Amino acid sequence: MNILPNIKCSVTECSYNKNVQCDAPMIQVARDGNLNHAQNSDNTKCDTFKPKS
Ligand code: SF4
C-alpha cells in the first residue's frame, strides 16, 4: 500500500514524474548544498530525482 500522500511535482524531466505527480515509492528530501539549517523551500531539494533516460 502506498502510504505517501499524493506529491505534486512539476519536475517533469524526472523519470518518476507521471502526469505532474511523483510516482516513486518513497522520496528523500534534503537540505540544499552545504546548509545545515533550511529557512525556506528553496533551501531543500529532492534527492530521489532521476533524469529520464
Ligand atoms: S522523485 Fe522528486 S523530482 Fe522526481 S517526480 Fe518525485 S518529487 Fe519530483
pLDDT (tens digit per residue) in 4-41: 679 999 999 999 999 999 999 999 999 999 999 999 99
Task: For residue 30, list its beta bridge partners.
Answer: 45
What is the reported pLDDT for 53?
85
- pLDDT, residue 16, reads 97
Residue 50 counted as domain residue: yes
The verdict on residue 24 lying in a domain is yes
Distance, CA of 51 to chain centre? 12
Q: Tell me if 27 sits within 8 A of 15, measured CB to CB.
A: no
Q: Which domain holds residue 14?
A: 1-32+42-53
Alpha carbon nearest to ligand 1 atom 6, residue: 22
Distance CA 49, CA 30 (A): 12
Structure-block grid coordinates of residue 19:
502526469
CA of 5 to the centre of ligand 1 (A): 13
* Residue 46 beta carbon below 6 angstroms from any ligand 1 atom: yes
Residue 48 lies in a domain: yes
**Structural domain includes residue 2:** yes
Domains identified in the chain, total number: 1
Q: Is the beta carbon of 38 within 6 A of some atom in ligand 1?
A: no
> For ligand 1, atom 8, which residue shows the shortest CA distance?
9
Is 37 contained in some domain?
A: no
